[in-house]
Amino acid sequence: MKLRHGLMAAAAAAAIAVAAPAVKAETFKYAFQGNLSSLDPHSLNETFLLVSLGNIYEGLSIYDDNLGIQPGLAESWETIEPTKWKFNLRKGVKFHNGNDFTAADVVFSWQRALSEGSDQKVRASKIKAIEVIDDHTIIIETPAPNPILTSDLVFIYMMDKEWSEKNNTTSATSASADNTGNYANLHSNGTGPFKVIDHKADVKTTFDRNTAYWSKIKSNVTKVEFTPIKEAATRVAALISGELDLVYPIPVQDWKRLDAAEGVKALAGPEARTIFLGMDQSRDELLYSNIKGKNPFKDIRVRQAFAHALNLEAIKKKVMRGAATPTGLMVAPQINGFVEELNTPYAYDPAKSRALLTEAGYPDGFEVTMDCPNNRYVNDEKICQAAVSMLAKVGVKVDLLAQPKSKYFGKVLSSGGFDTSFYLLGWTPGTMDSENVLSSLLSCQNKETKTGLFNLGNYCNPRVDELTKKVGSETDQAKRNAMIKEIFQIVKDEYGYLPLHQQPLSWGVSDRVTVSQRADNGLDFRYVVVNK
Amino acid sequence: MQSVIVMFTVGLIAFSMFRFVGDPINNMVGQDTSEQERIELRERLGLNDPFLVQFGRFSLNAVQGDFGLSYKYRVPVSEMIAERMPATLELAFVAAILSLAIGIPLGVYTALKRHSFLSKLIMTTSLIGVSLPTFLTGIMLILFFGVVLRWLPTFGRGDVIELGSWSTGFLTASGLKSLILPSITLALFQLTLIMRLVRAEMLEVLRTDFVKFAKARGLPNRLVNFKHALKNTLVPVITITGLQLGSLIAFAIITESVFQWPGMGLLFIQAIADVDIPIMAAYLVLIAFFFVMINMIVDILYYAVDPRLRADNE
């Protein structure tokens, strides 16, 4: 019996070898610290998951390796009215099961992204209606003029209507109990260059090359194996031993080890994530401070004193091993709307800082508690510790409360009632556009308009709010960028936030492969090449 | 009856601790998800209910074998645990065999040849075995055998074969190779413990009168040492081994996370980071269940080994 199987397998292998002699099997194996929790493209709005699924599923537009927007399942598009976009869908695209990709699938996928349990509602609600002209032409209507619609479309992945209906997965996989056994949670059927052949969440996922892919890609990989490895030391060992071709993230303190080892190297680059400190500027009395009856952070001189007390170069050198990019702006250079001349950090000047504190009426400083995650960003707790000691030098006694991210976010986010006075946070705008930062971090907290929900210290300036609204609907890029610049200027002049740096991406790569490191820490298989 | 109370208590304690591990919602949605949706999700998951209501609901479902859906993976927890259990049990089984197969002979040897150089060497080395933390042993083994020599895989389970719902690594070369390092890591502590226990018990028994009489009767040494002496050391050894088998399963957590061994322990430790309450609860109750079962088996084994216990009952 066994022998017969073996023979059949050998025969099958021979048949394949004859049919496609040009393609040599190239397997690419990699590991990440987190896992692919679901294969459902609408289940969770998390960068790692979405970028990984981007190898299986695709949107109407897609990112290239520089996060530039390229035509994806839509061949081209044009704005016919400020709120109406015409998309010409790509012809001849097939899902992995062989079904054709048509306009009906777009409508279906959009509705699924809006369904109960979907975590993509924010993106999907940027579309008000979809009008089908014919099988390969649609008109998307937006609720308001939206200059960055195509960035939102990157992560609204297209699913096959027929397949979803057949497998009874017409709504997104939800965490609540009334939606068990969603087929798309463990199975997939996309249009992407790779398809999943085996998926055990948290153990291993195996991808095979989709030979019928609509576009030529750089990659020569035929099979990909993904394993989540939680322990950093184990990841590094697996890379050096040659079992894996790529692992990430690598602790920055391990770079030297990789350089010393043969056949592997550290691959570093700036991530599009900005790490910054925020201060409670809205309460009349800080929740965690020895100053009663008033809020020192309402005084711009105090915020200024904090800014000048922080030595970003020292944090870069000592904490981040030279691998961070100190910044003066709330967005990274990769983000649309970045302003080069505003990116100079606040100068390090402890003497000035002390003078400002004295002027503000705190010659002996004051006490405040700082909230900090300890397993979310690169060296997050160490950054906070460094900030604490720098602030101590100008007389401010900071009591550090560093906690795991689950505890930390439960406390400081809106669900915990913004329970913080001083905190460290990191942010990458999901759309790769400044507008997301303006509305989430820089606008006043407002539950009705759903803006400023991550503005934990409630920095608030009506002019910023007014401009942000205009930025949201201005379609003239030059005008729009001018307004973004004005906002960043205001926030900088008012010391609304204290940006620290862009943290480094830290990958470990074997010399056997060439990969492209995207600034959102994503791995796109399309650019993975096994060296000959 | 006692077992039920034990498991109920474990469930209660475990459940009351979950409130301190953080808010699960933030791990379940992306940063752009609105406040309104987060509140609705909390409500749907029943996280706003009073503690006792949540615990009552959990116990009621758990009794029927339903541990709910994992928050993160959105599949039934019982399925996930069943999928992971073979990995942990195989690892614990191999580790237990290793520690018994090596620990008992070494214990006997060091007891009989107390003053030999080899005995002293074994005793000293065993001190290292007890005092090194599992994490460190694991990493060191990985570095030496995986990275420097490249003989053995550094992580994972290798290829597995599915036998019905049981996935086994015993039947493939890579599966067996992958077992070596983690099982040694896991066994090391137990091995030294068993060895030292057997040695101490043996020394005790060798001094007793019946051994002296046996020797006086002219019985061969081998028979005295293994038939009479060793058998009499086994009661405490069985107790400890039984309890240790429980801890092999429970403490495989560290070994599993060092070797990325896809067992229940790894699932649990990941669940803590994700605040995946259903997985945590199910795991802890299951571990309590294992301990209860093992204790029961140990009690039964006593009867087999110790004739006095059987005599008392008759």
For chain A, which domains are there? Answer: 40-177 (3.90.76.10), 272-503 (3.10.105.10)
What integer is the mean pLDDT of B111-125? Answer: 88
Is the domain covering B80-312 a CATH 2.60.40.2130 domain? no
Q: Which residue has the tokens 């067992």?
A: B263
CA distance A222 to A208: 6
Q: Per the CB < 8 Å rule, is A230 touching B269? A: yes
Chain B nearest CA to A105, separation (Å): 24
Q: What is the mean pLDDT of chain A?
A: 90
Q: Per the CB < 8 Å rule, is A227 touching B156? A: yes
> Range(s) for CATH 1.10.3720.10 in chain B?
80-312
CA distance B193 to B178: 25
pLDDT bucket at A176, cuts 50 / 70 / 90: low
How many C-beta neighbours within 10 Å does residue A212 have? 14
A378-418 tens-digit pLDDT: 899 999 999 999 999 999 999 999 998 888 988 898 878 89
Chain B: residue whose CA lies nearest to A409: B26
CA distance A223 to A209: 6
Residues of B in contact with A414 (CB under 8 A): 35, 38
B152-168 tens-digit pLDDT: 998 988 888 888 788 88
Chain B: residue whose CA lies nearest to A34: B270
Residue B27, pLDDT above cutoff 80: no
Q: Per the CB < 8 Å rule, is A234 touching B154? A: yes
Residues of A in contact with B32 (CB under 8 A): 45, 122-123, 430, 436, 440
A207-241 tens-digit pLDDT: 999 999 999 999 999 999 999 998 899 999 999 99
Residues of B in contact with A450 (CB under 8 A): 34-35
Chain B nearest CA to A175, separation (Å): 5
What integer is the mean pLDDT of A94-119? Answer: 93
Residues of B in contact with A241 (CB under 8 A): 146-147, 150, 153-154
Residues of A in contact with B19 (CB under 8 A): none
Q: Per the CB < 8 Å rule, is A450 touching B44? A: no
CA distance B177 to B169: 9
* For residue B182, cis peptide bond before it (omega within 30 degrees of 0): no
Residue A433, pLDDT above cutoff 50: yes
Contacts of A77 (CB under 8 A, 6+ apart): A60, A61, A71, A85, A86, A87, A88, A150
Question: By mean pLDDT, which of A351-355, A468-472, B288-292, B298-302 is the weakest?
Answer: B298-302
Q: Which residue has the tokens 């030098």?
A: A393
Chain B nearest CA to A235, separation (Å): 8
Q: Give the H or E element holding residue B304.
A: helix B277-305
CA distance B189 to B134: 8
Q: Per the CB < 8 Å rule, is A202 touching B71? A: no
- Predicted ipTM > 0.95: no
Chain A nearest CA to B191, separation (Å): 24
Chain B: residue whose CA lies nearest to A440: B32
Chain B nearest CA to A191, separation (Å): 23
Task: Please say whether the dihedral angle defined by the alpha carbons of residues B273, B278, B281 and B284, taken in this order, is positive or negative.
Answer: negative
Q: Give the H or E element holding residue A368.
A: strand A367-373
Our measurement of the distance from residue A391's CA atom to the centroid of its chain's CA atoms, rounded to an integer in Å, reads 30
CA distance A494 to A463: 12
CA distance B245 to B98: 12
Q: Per the CB < 8 Å rule, is A177 touching B76? A: no
Chain A nearest CA to B184, separation (Å): 17
What integer is the mean pLDDT of A240-269? Answer: 90
Contacts of A316 (CB under 8 A, 6+ apart): A322, A323, A324, A325, A326, A501
A278-297 tens-digit pLDDT: 999 999 999 999 999 999 99
pLDDT of residue A387: 96
